Amino acid sequence: MPDNIPINGRTVFAGVVGWPVSHSLSPAIHNRWMQENSINAVYLPLPVEPENLPSVIPALSSMGCVGVNLTIPHKEQVLPLLDHVDDVAKRIGACNTVVMKEGKLHGHNTDAYGFWKSLEQGAPALKRDKALVLGAGGAARAVITALHDAGYSEIRIMNRTYEKAQALCALSSQARAVLWGSGIDDVDLLVNTTSLGMKGQPPLEMDLSPLPSHAVVTDIVYNPLHTPLLLLAKQQGLTVVDGLGMLLYQAQKAFELWFGVTPRVDETLRKTVLEQLGQ
């Protein structure tokens, strides 16, 4: 990595807007990439209470901010504040990246890209036919959109609250809601988007033995990296893809949108992020 770029009169900034935001790993990732690519910029955590979002976003734009990421609870609330929202963000109904350019605010959603890129990298032989998505929250919306765009012929959505799974079927002509515990015997891909398995949460308990031997299992949870679901899948000899890749690749796309440079995602970066997580 080159020597630190000094902050001077030409330094620009980006950041992550959230409430709370202190847990965010994005500053560590983006500041590292700025150094690696000799970009005179800094990336800051920006704690913003929900009621202040409508005044903060235009203000950031008017003071030369390059762009921001949005995290909980702002991904949906930011949409009406933007001048332009791209097709993927519109379909998902959430924006995680804003590009600020010539006084205009451009909204994107790089979560779907990040999810798919991570899966392609981690499981290149993955079959794009039948997928099962567990959960029906915000993360599931991005995952279902990515799977639709990747050409899956069947996207089953399984959720504790069945009605929410039904509502998400509007995202894809290929999607249908299924009852918890049913229909896993012929899927090529199983994705956990629930919070189960996350540090401090109960594990996701599911019998994976009916899954075909070529099935890929992935979890969007990355803390811990090896969730009980992934450990069980691995024990069964299935291909697994952990959740860290989605975090890194959604960030990579955001960085690309702001600076026109594709930053490196490699083992060293993964290690740095895992260290931040205490793993």
Binding site for ligand ATR (CB under 6 A): 135-140, 159-161, 164, 193-196
* Nearer to ligand ATR among residue 39 and residue 146 (C-beta): 146
Q: Shortest distance, CB of residue 227 to ligand ATR, whole angstroms?
A: 13
Helix 26-36, helix 244-259: angle, nearest 10: 50
Task: For strands 216-219 and 189-192, give the pairing.
Answer: parallel
Q: Shortest distance, CB of residue 160 to ligand ATR, whole angstroms?
A: 3
Phi/psi at 99 (5° precision): -105, 130
Q: Shortest distance, CB of residue 116 to ligand ATR, whole angstroms?
A: 17
Name 133's bridge partners. Answer: 157, 191
CA 93 to chain centre: 14
Let me know: does 141 contact 133? Beta carbons within 8 Å: no
DSSP, residue by residue, 102-157: TTEEEEE--HHHHHHHHHHHH-TT--SSEEEEE--SHHHHHHHHHHHHTT-SEEEE
* Nearer to ligand ATR among residue 48 and residue 136 (C-beta): 136
Let me know: does 87 contact 34? Beta carbons within 8 Å: no
Q: Shortest distance, CB of residue 202 to ligand ATR, whole angstroms?
A: 6
Show Cβ contacts of residue 181 under 8 Å, excluding neighbours closer than 6 positions: 158, 206
* Nearer to ligand ATR among residue 195 and residue 279 (C-beta): 195
* Nearer to ligand ATR among residue 65 and residue 157 (C-beta): 157
Does the annotation mark 127 as catalytic?
A: no
* Nearer to ligand ATR among residue 66 and residue 143 (C-beta): 143
Q: Shortest distance, CB of residue 159 to ligand ATR, whole angstroms?
A: 5
Residue number with the shortest CB distance to ligand ATR? 137
CA 228 to chain centre: 20
Q: Which positions are annotated as active-site residues?
A: 75
